[in-house]
Structure 1
């Protein structure tokens, strides 16, 4: 029992301080970036929702408001709760497709741009079902904890009690039951899990749930879907309500979810995972027997090791194959493979919303994500072009919203999907030399369009269409600008159609497994081209042999296979072997026109929602200041207010604070007021003896800060730069020793602080410990230009240079830091110090040179009971130099080794912890300790 109490105490402390992130409908942690100030916001207030949206999105907001009211009861019915009113923010400035629900403050955010890879239903409808289920979960478990004091506590209890696989699996299950599609109906959704089980890879509960750096695992969305579906299947729809109800009655019960699951089913979470895994294995083995799949030769051959994929294969005229290579060791790149499997890199790619490229006549195009330099809530999708003959790269478009570009056979033009800020969808024809738009073809009835492709003549384009009716194949005739339906609406995930003479090749899942099919446009019949074991994707036609190249999914990633032209017809498609969910249509002929009005940010600045034990800065453990804080955040990430009280036990003194941050416009401004106690010491001489007297006083300090940050992407490079300046006014009072009044500086007037920085680094692969290349530079200057009582200057330079190590994923880091100070700043240190500095003899520091080499050791995927799950061990060497200058011996002041591990604690998916020990050798005469250890803990989301 004592051990349970100990673990639960760690559990609550961890969650209270670290779990205040959004539990999203799709895999993205909530961020506090801003929207551009040019957006004009409006709002619709229904009985149960406040829909906040850009004015250009009026039509979409009106329809969504009706859908939300219809969906609210259906989504929450099985949990026996009626969710309270919530604010829904429609985010149309980003090109990413996402969503989240959060508390503290209570709101949900819908990213309105539809994706290029999705299930076969309207994007916003799917998003609404999924996110509203999260709202129902929140209110079922912690609905009694509300603003203005307890929303953060509600979020902590939610995160502490419900594993991520449960609340996301339940949401996916709901989106599948209440829609025509949903990810639970997609073979591609289950494919990694199914492949593992059919290949004999039965991983532990923690590995399937928390993931791995060396193997492909299902992930908590997919795992959670099957675990919750099996619960409903075995115990009825009320089981989820019963679980959450019991947890809500006593939210501080140790191992609350697992014990509740045990009470109602007789299984704890680990046992339920094993039972579900065995049932799924039997089901999928039977499906495999029924389908009688073929095994196709795969290319390239790969030695056993970490996962790797070669996506979207295209045969070149010389017989080589071009593909998009994804590897845990490297960042994604477009490569060319020769017949022996050796590959040459064409170009590294930056972040993509979906993997994509197109090749024709010696040119390659692909789309990439870019972000606004200042406003992180605004992103773009641009088109890049690479000329293989000239070996030259160009960014073809800028600040565009173009997706899935496809080259015309002569490569003089390309076509892409365009999605405007009001979700107006069209195909656009662009000139590949200038990037200028030649023609625009609006989508019929604004159907969502995905992944276009030209025919051999360059006069027709085939594209996937998605709507509330399902997925279809739609053909555009370029000369006339007219669309026609090539394949009517299907309850199928149809992907990446391409032409092959008089046929259209596409991916679908008619037999319950993703395979390639051919639509004979003349006979209007469908042929099955592949019968893959796990899944076939991304077809392309080898015009020299008329063979079809495709991606053949394997245990460790996507390989390349090919199939001969098929002659036998296959049209007797078996029913899907997916779970049989009852679909309830939420569409309606009734459409209410809601009143709308402007949403004024200034009128909604004050939004107090939570009392907190910290100031809401969870980026670094060293920045945490335990106390009591009252938090206010407006719904559009513009203004933060903090009122707080902290008791400093080290000096037995209270601290009061108030701060406001306003970040709508280009500079960010923050103003903070502190009233706090301070301690110091003074030397006095009496009777020829020197004595030290302790001093105590209080002070009022007001600080004003301005930041101008820039962040932007350029292919596989990330650049951040900026400038900040700050000043303050301090008034001191209540000195405890009146004899020092005449020497006591009671006011510090407007010291100035300036910082300019520039950071550049390349993208990291999954296994990289640091960027392969990176340069970071920061210059800081402090002085007292407006104060006659205080003087002093401090100039500091901090640099960091990353280099690739001797082997893959190794990293060499060299940091040189310099400071020059005088006056009041004489004893201040504004640069990183040598390891173990506080254990060494105190010496003035002018500069430091810190060199470290880090490398991965092993990827064990070890579970230490429920306490920790270790994904990686890593080690390193370091040598730290101090006061490097001519005349000084060039030898480190300290050096040593470090051993660290990446892990998850207490079976929580986030945060990811980095915990380790550093053994330090003091390389100086007569140290207090020659060898000593320091310990460190960090975390990331």
Structure 2
């Protein structure tokens, strides 16, 4: 059971790693709070309105809308982040807190047009109530044994990931007029599989695939939880989860509870819920359209499309094998790669008159929650890329027809939205159009005379309209009136405006012509983008193999926008109703939030795996994520020694500050091939760490500098006959690490171009001579095929020969050999990784095999034996077989087997010429 707890705790940490950011805000940011018996909302100064709104919604839900998950509640701290362009939110245990990232997403198709603060409060507070009501039975026992992460571990085993998110999506749908359960685009994934008659097993849906398109756990969860609510009652899931977290049935508690209450286990329940929705998704007839992109064995997305002057197309394309890039596609279907964009918060791009525009992300080097975007312009004629250098918070650029101006959607840290017009050469702001209602603009487009901008806008009630705004005086005309249906990206052709919208059960193309709206396409699944091309309309539609390009006529039929054209399944009634217009504002006191509040905040016991050290530690972290603390026990497998330690890491200032101490027992030093010395030591240390995020363009980059001072005292071990004359040692530990990794596609085993460099230097400062230098460089290069990788490695380590003190050993030795005796040593290695098969198969919902891959390697290592005054070579060649799997349908885990053929003698076993090993990289499970 302890192993299961460890794996589940790792699952929780891996899930949180995406959202959590230690030391993410500069110390200049001042914090305020609203503190009640239900919630503590913490927000930057000036964000009082958002803080009050969050508090109002949470108090209303806490009072009136808890019955469907349970009556228990715990006070939670919610931090509002306004310095980042990320659109997200999360709730975690360890420590128990939530963070809302306040910038709304650029697209309305995926999550809707609700006021973003409202949607975050509805969705994320459901996770708070889930965690509060899951502390029962055996899960409560694990809470007492392991703290908050103990509870998180056992409840993540008991309750599948699809329920956590599906139940939250049901909540945002039930308590508002929108929510993802009312969005046609939210069902595109499963609808595409239904239309293609693709039937995947429950385990395949749970685990995903490297070769098939599989809907995520949000979509799966909504199908199953909404079906459960409608079929078995509003409180059905409260009873199921109560059984599961109490472990009333020890094995597969969630599935067994479903079986007990419905006669269907989890797999059968998934099949029933999908069948219930499938009845709505089979069209009686599909209007004809020409398919422009052929079928492919690899999932490929053609998401955005623009017309070229010569009748060709400019498209965005990405696949499971290839990173996103822009291509020219001629009339015969031949594709020519133009350029690849960098990392961005949005994948949208625009095109006009030979120039492509998009935004890329830029990050503050030190503060993780402070980021920007820059506008990129690529000129096809000259082949030059230009960056509008002013860093700003903007999305969705569009170039004017005269090529002189760029329109962007801008978002301030105070959540004020604007449509800005920039100089296309310098990036300077020419004009900011008036926005008295603080509408959120999406995907602006210039009209052909550059006198107006067409944009879909969202208001604070979650309604959307299509507007035309003058670039001269800022006056606004509503072309499509405000309604709760989402509106997508417009395209301008003369006086006609094409746009996608969710007026029907499927996102389709509509057109505004002479004051009336027509429906142009009537497709069976969601349309994302379109381009008028030579009297026809080319559009991207979602299929089971990704977004595909189709072509149809541009004619349409009028549609009555006053009528609700949605079927009943997109108008679900979960028995609660829209609460957002009923909330009574509270009279809350806004006060200063002290950054020292519960600064240590110990919350959990957690295994620490940092090969070669393994341990168990008590962890603490404050709500703002500025102080991490831990105390615990560990064991070093290289040295076969154990120890106890404690440390503090303070991340609120520019360099991290580290303080700590370790007491290590039974350390040993090999004096020669047969004699070793054993001792205990006490090590106090303090230091500075500077982690820098240098990510830009197509590369994730990080650089970290470390320096630590150690005061170390050594004691003779109880059974050792050796007494140290050097009892007190002072030394410095200097570290440097750098990583540069190009973005990679889903199937790529490694990046096609990446480097990692590590340097570590130890040196004593008093009269005890001891020194060690370690360096390692890994170089990742493309192989012979898209998913092959060549990895070259070099490593070097040098130790002093006085042997008065030995530092920790991190060297990577030639595979197959025992650790040799040496003064200095280097290693060169070559690895060729390649995929072998994609099984997409598992058993018992315990272990699922996603990919089988191999690695052919050669290691060449040379050491200097200073006593024998001789070099020794250790070379080996062999192969590794890796299994990329998921444990329990959630946790990614890779293990493998290795055979090493020794090309030289191993001094510790000269007769052995080969070695088999099991590869279990535990560090991937427990990275913290």
Note whether the superposition's TM-score is higher than 0.5. yes
Specify the alignment match of 1:550 in structure 2: 539
Within 5 Å, which residues of 2 pair with 1:729-748? 729-733=711-715, 735-736=717-718, 740-741=722-723, 743-748=724-729
Q: Tell me if the contact between 1:512 and 1:578 (Cα under 8 Å) persists in the aligned partners.
A: no
Within 5 Å, which residues of 2 pair with 1:61-210? 61-118=51-108, 119-142=112-135, 150-210=147-207
- For structure 2, the 5+ residue unaligned runs are none
Q: Tell me if the contact between 2:5 and 2:150 (Cα under 8 Å) persists in the aligned partners.
A: no
Q: Tell me if the contact between 1:845 and 1:882 (Cα under 8 Å) persists in the aligned partners.
A: no
Q: Tell me if the contact between 1:120 and 1:466 (Cα under 8 Å) persists in the aligned partners.
A: yes
Cα distance change, pair 622–831 in 1 and its aligned pair in 2 (3 A): closer
1:91 is displaced (CA, Å) by 0.7
Pick one of 628, 634, 642 that aligns with 1:640. Answer: 628
Specify the alignment match of 1:665 in structure 2: 653
1:859 is displaced (CA, Å) by 1.2
Specify the alignment match of 2:217 in structure 1: 220
With the length of structure 1 as denominator, give the TM-score of the two structures.
0.90
Pick one of 327, 333, 343 that aligns with 1:335. Answer: 327
Specify the alignment match of 1:770 in structure 2: 750
Q: Tell me if the contact between 2:68 and 2:234 (Cα under 8 Å) persists in the aligned partners.
A: yes
Cα distance change, pair 851–738 in 1 and its aligned pair in 2 (3 A): closer
Q: Tell me if the contact between 2:772 and 2:807 (Cα under 8 Å) persists in the aligned partners.
A: no
Alpha-carbon distance in 2 for matches of 1:758, 1:574: 55
Alpha-carbon distance in 2 for matches of 1:534, 1:335: 24
Q: Is 1:499 paired with 2:479?
A: no
Deviates more, 1:99-108 or 1:487-496: 487-496
Q: Tell me if the contact between 1:761 and 1:774 (Cα under 8 Å) persists in the aligned partners.
A: yes
Cα distance change, pair 587–47 in 1 and its aligned pair in 2 (3 A): farther
Pick one of 770, 776, 779 that aligns with 1:801. Answer: 779
Specify the alignment match of 1:882 in structure 2: 861
1:13 is displaced (CA, Å) by 4.1
Q: Is 1:726 paired with 2:719?
A: no
Alpha-carbon distance in 1 for matches of 2:3, 2:887: 10
Pick one of 534, 537, 559 that aligns with 2:525. Answer: 534
User: Any idea what SS the aligned residue of 2:176 has?
Assistant: coil
Within 5 Å, which residues of 2 pair with 1:650-689? 655-680=643-668
1:356 is displaced (CA, Å) by 0.8
Pick one of 669, 688, 698 that aligns with 1:706. Answer: 688
Specify the alignment match of 1:19 in structure 2: 12
1:171 is displaced (CA, Å) by 0.7
Within 5 Å, which residues of 2 pair with 1:595-614? 595-610=589-604, 612-614=605-607
User: Any idea what SS the aligned residue of 1:284 has?
Assistant: coil
User: Any idea what SS the aligned residue of 1:883 has?
Assistant: strand
Cα distance change, pair 739–862 in 1 and its aligned pair in 2 (3 A): closer
Cα distance change, pair 710–463 in 1 and its aligned pair in 2 (3 A): same
Alpha-carbon distance in 2 for matches of 1:11, 1:796: 36
Q: Tell me if the contact between 1:444 and 1:483 (Cα under 8 Å) persists in the aligned partners.
A: no
Cα distance change, pair 226–603 in 1 and its aligned pair in 2 (3 A): closer
Q: Is 1:905 paired with 2:887?
A: yes
Can you list the C-alpha shifts for 1:80-111, whole angstroms capped at 9, x where unaligned? 31422111100111101000001111111000
Alpha-carbon distance in 1 for matches of 2:380, 2:77: 50
Alpha-carbon distance in 2 for matches of 1:700, 1:752: 15
Alpha-carbon distance in 1 for matches of 2:615, 2:564: 63
1:514 is displaced (CA, Å) by 1.2
Alpha-carbon distance in 2 for matches of 1:357, 1:694: 65
Alpha-carbon distance in 1 for matches of 2:341, 2:51: 35
Q: Tell me if the contact between 2:905 and 2:913 (Cα under 8 Å) persists in the aligned partners.
A: no
Cα distance change, pair 778–932 in 1 and its aligned pair in 2 (3 A): same
Q: Tell me if the contact between 2:629 and 2:648 (Cα under 8 Å) persists in the aligned partners.
A: yes
Specify the alignment match of 1:3 in structure 2: none
Specify the alignment match of 1:687 in structure 2: none
Q: Is 1:791 paired with 2:781?
A: no
Can you list the C-alpha shifts for 1:343-388, whole angstroms capped at 9, x where unaligned? 2222211222222111112211101222211121222122111111
Can you list the C-alpha shifts for 1:681-738, whole angstroms capped at 9, x where unaligned? 7999xxxxx996974x543211223211212222111222232111211123365369
User: Any idea what SS the aligned residue of 1:836 has?
Assistant: coil
Alpha-carbon distance in 1 for matches of 2:786, 2:146: 49
Alpha-carbon distance in 1 for matches of 2:637, 2:874: 37
Alpha-carbon distance in 1 for matches of 2:551, 2:870: 66
Alpha-carbon distance in 1 for matches of 2:509, 2:524: 12
Alpha-carbon distance in 1 for matches of 2:351, 2:445: 11
Q: CA RMSD in A?
A: 2.9
Cα distance change, pair 265–854 in 1 and its aligned pair in 2 (3 A): same
Deviates more, 1:337-346 or 1:67-76: 67-76
Specify the alignment match of 1:283 in structure 2: 280
User: Any idea what SS the aligned residue of 2:270 has?
Assistant: helix
Q: Tell me if the contact between 1:21 and 1:29 (Cα under 8 Å) persists in the aligned partners.
A: no
Specify the alignment match of 1:586 in structure 2: 580
Cα distance change, pair 738–845 in 1 and its aligned pair in 2 (3 A): closer
With the length of structure 2 as denominator, give the TM-score of the two structures.
0.92
Cα distance change, pair 656–456 in 1 and its aligned pair in 2 (3 A): same
Alpha-carbon distance in 2 for matches of 1:45, 1:433: 48
Can you list the C-alpha shifts for 1:513-559, whole angstroms capped at 9, x where unaligned? 11111123x34x321100112222212333xx243322122221112
1:748 is displaced (CA, Å) by 1.2
- For structure 1, the 5+ residue unaligned runs are 1-7, 685-689
Cα distance change, pair 730–828 in 1 and its aligned pair in 2 (3 A): closer
Specify the alignment match of 1:269 in structure 2: 266
User: Any idea what SS the aligned residue of 2:68 has?
Assistant: helix
Pick one of 771, 782, 798 that aligns with 2:762. Answer: 782
Q: Tell me if the contact between 1:247 and 1:256 (Cα under 8 Å) persists in the aligned partners.
A: yes
Specify the alignment match of 2:471 in structure 1: 478
Within 5 Å, which residues of 2 pair with 1:914-933? 914-925=894-905, 927-933=910-916
